[in-house]
Structure 1
């Protein structure tokens, strides 16, 4: 059996590196994202306590890096491997996980012009997706903070879970929904809303039923206690787990 998080990591290499033991200085903070234009592709930055960080480059919904949004703060969680390594004018955080915060913040509108010598790296190739093994028993989907939004990458995992369920014809399918806490570098603890557990579970239930999985087979389990809040790896607690039982 292939573990859901490992498969998820193989699909998105950024998460794969983060899920394993990672060296470097861990950082987690909230900030307004900044867009810097470039000769190639716009890049995303964030400034915190007078330091500018490089988050990633603008891409598409199929890119490994799903960009922030202006007029919304971004939660940044990741590692600084080398404080001297910069890109597009900011210290590189790699691996990195970002979450677009749902609340509107009209102060987050900074656009910077292109500057010679402040270019982003070469475009990151689209991640390669391999089908899940037909005998997979567990699938895991990770979420942005306080979000039930299914990006293209997450939708692929849900689709694979349905495909495998139709092959295995399990007697029972369990959908486990969780919420998490994230500890910022300044000690602040962010906790996801309780309602997020139900929203994630309900949306996945609707996905399965909408793709012709009998609702009588599906058991939804909502885990209300917020997990994490310790720093490194907190993003792993914002999740939904699908389990197939014979």
Structure 2
């Protein structure tokens, strides 16, 4: 009995396993108020249905999605195992639109995300010095250079606030692409190498529009990145390869 309890304790202490699969999304039309509908994703290999509503970028029900996430201890309000953290990346493969009625599931009431950007007019607290070389990171969906709302814009806002205060001598923007083929749901997928340049240039343009002198910025790319242990990647290892590094140097 003691041995079984010990095994259960160890199992409970282990971090949740990352699930990663390709599927067509399903929308559940719940009505618990504003933005309460659910996005669901079925892993065809296991038959499990997941709730991916917590993803910062939402699925497009006309296209397949790449799901990457970890199961959370959360109530089932949508009819699936809740993934949080979770990322959903829209792929090129087409899907037939599929919507389910509420079927008794209440859905999720709207709440502000944990990464919520303050209005531009709001004053930012000045980060305290002393300042030294520091790297900020933004993360992207698969084969996408889109800055995700209430995720990448939050990370960019944090970076630009620090850079304005620190006034680094140079800034190196490095775009990464996970171009090495990986097998997901029995399919080989890989990012286009050019997406690394697209990501870096998009972030560079954002920095310039926010007041950084283009003359101090240099752009680089890397198409065989290693994952990074960054808290803003939320422990999603493969997703951490798809990023841009903003390195401020003195």
Given the two structures, how large is their TM-score scaled by the length of structure 1?
0.74
Determine if contact 2:77/2:108 at 8 Å carries over to the other structure. yes
Q: Select 2:148's aligned residue among 134, 146, 151.
A: 151
Structure 1 SS opposite 2:147: coil
Q: More relative contact order in 1 or in 2 (CA 8 Å, sep 6+)?
A: 1
Q: State the 1:79 CA deviation.
A: 2.3
Unaligned runs of 5+ residues in structure 2 are 1-12, 117-123, 228-234
For residues 227 and 108 of structure 1, do their structure 2 counterparts lie closer, same or farther at Cα, with a shift above 3 Å needed? farther
Residue aligning to 2:216: 217
- Cα gap change, 1:93/1:207 in structure 2, threshold over 3 Å: closer, same or farther? closer
Change (3 A) 1:75 1:22: farther
Matches of 1:46 and 1:124 in 2, distance apart? 22
Alignment map for 1:3-22 (pairs within 5 Å):
none
**Which whole-Å deviations, capped at 9, do the CAs of 1:120-175 have from their partners, x for residues lacking one?**
24444432558683547221101011111112331232233233223222111110
Match of 1:162, SS? helix
Distance 1:125 1:211 in 2: 24
Q: 1:34-53 residue pairs with structure 2 within 5 A?
A: 34-40=26-32, 41-49=36-44, 50-53=47-50
| Match status 1:68 vs 2:59 | yes
Q: How does 1:1-246 map to 2 (within 5 A)?
A: 23-40=15-32, 41-49=36-44, 50-56=47-53, 65-80=56-71, 86-101=76-91, 103=92, 105=94, 107-116=95-104, 118-127=105-114, 129=116, 133-134=127-128, 135=131, 137-152=134-149, 153-180=151-178, 183=182, 186=185, 188-227=187-226, 233-246=237-250
Q: 1: distance between equivalents of 2:171 and 2:60?
A: 35
Bigger radius of gyration among the two: 2
Compared CA separation, residues 128 and 211, structure 1 to 2 (3 A):
closer
Q: 5+ residue gaps in structure 1?
A: 1-20, 58-63
C-alpha contact (below 8 Å) 2:51/2:81 kept by paired residues: yes
CA pair 123-215 structure 1, distance change in 2 beyond 3 A = closer
Alignment partner, residue 230 of structure 2: none
Cα distance per residue 1:58-115 (max 9 Å; x no partner): xxxxxx7432122121111122367x974422222233222222x261x241111121
Supply the distance in 1 between the matched residues of 2:58 and 2:237 (Cα, whole angstroms). Answer: 20
Q: CA RMSD in A?
A: 3.0
- Contact kept, 8 Å, 1:172 with 1:245, in 2: the verdict is yes
Question: How big is the shift at 1:208?
Answer: 2.1
Q: CA, structure 1 residues 42+133, in 2 after alignment: closer, same or farther (shift >3 Å)?
A: same
d(CA) in 2 for partners of 1:81, 1:221 = 37
Aligned residues: 214
